[in-house]
Amino acid sequence: MQEFFTSLANGFGVLDVIDIAIIAFIIYKALGFIRESRAEQIVKGFIILILAAFFSGVLHLYALNWILNGVMTFGIIALVVVFQPELRRVLEYIGRGRIFTMRFTAVDNERIKSSASAIAKAVDDFSNGKTGALIVMEHEVSLDDFAETGTVLDADVTPELLKNIFYVGAPMHDGASIVREGRVHAAGCVLPLSKNMSLPKELGMRHRAGIGITEVSDAYCIIVSEETGVISSAYDGKIKRFLDIKTIEKEILNMFLDESSGSDKPGFRALFRRGDNV
């Protein structure tokens, strides 16, 4: 036994440590991803199937073992189909990593601050007047596919423009406005609805669309309820409700000023996840 551990220690180098550290990091991230998504229960079920197949082989239950092995063979293909949205998000997350990111344009900090202030003022008016609104702020993942469903404006962000867009009866008030690099890029846009079945029943189509766009991109979304005037924000498939305009403005600045200054987004993620999330 001593000779075994001695030979193991002698053959263990720096590259082995790096190799193990990388694998441990991947497993840690994978477990975190499973815990945050609907994958957890399905993965548990798949693990039970693997254990059942193993013990059926050990106990020589040949028919059961044959059936379970066949189920797992097709189950791997089924997992890819079932988790297609999650796999897409993982690949997009890897592609958005700082190692692979190259910004061709720099957004002026003053424009970000001006846009944040204008959006906060407009959202305050929407909330007080119970005017429904859906404002999507593009980050690194392009929203061109969704912008094409609306009307391209490419205009400065002002409270007056946003209030005209979301004015009840206006042609584009039922759609979403997409803000790109501190400007209103498009309005009246159609967004994908969230597939999260655990969302509260009181959330309507506007909220589900706001959450849905953050499930397929890294966009930040602001939602104002037409029925109650409640202000919400959505990011990374999660929603925070009952916010005030100071919180909205702070979230915008934390997300986009961090980006423009070259720092990473965990600070914004921590800010967004603080408080009650749905």
Distance CA 152, CA 186 (A): 4
Distance CA 255, CA 275 (A): 17
Q: Is the pTM of this model over 0.75?
A: no
Q: Which residues pair with 177 in a beta bridge?
A: 135
pLDDT digit string (tens) for 29-74?
777 766 655 566 677 777 888 899 889 888 988 898 898 888 888 7
Residues 109-273: name the CATH superfamily.
DNA integrity scanning protein, DisA, N-terminal domain (3.40.1700.10)
Q: Report how far apart, in Å, the C-alpha atoms of 101 and of each of 25, 107, 236, 264 are.
A: 21, 15, 19, 12
Q: What's the chain's average pLDDT?
A: 82
More confident residue, 263 or 26: 26
Strands (E), the chain: 133-137, 151-156, 176-180, 183-189, 220-224, 231-235, 238-243
Q: What is the pLDDT of residue 159?
A: 97
Of residues 221, 210, 122, the one with CA closest to residue 167: 122
pLDDT digit string (tens) for 175-221?
999 999 899 999 999 999 998 888 998 999 999 999 999 988 889 99
Domain boundaries, the chain: 2-95, 109-273
Q: What is the pLDDT of residue 269?
A: 56
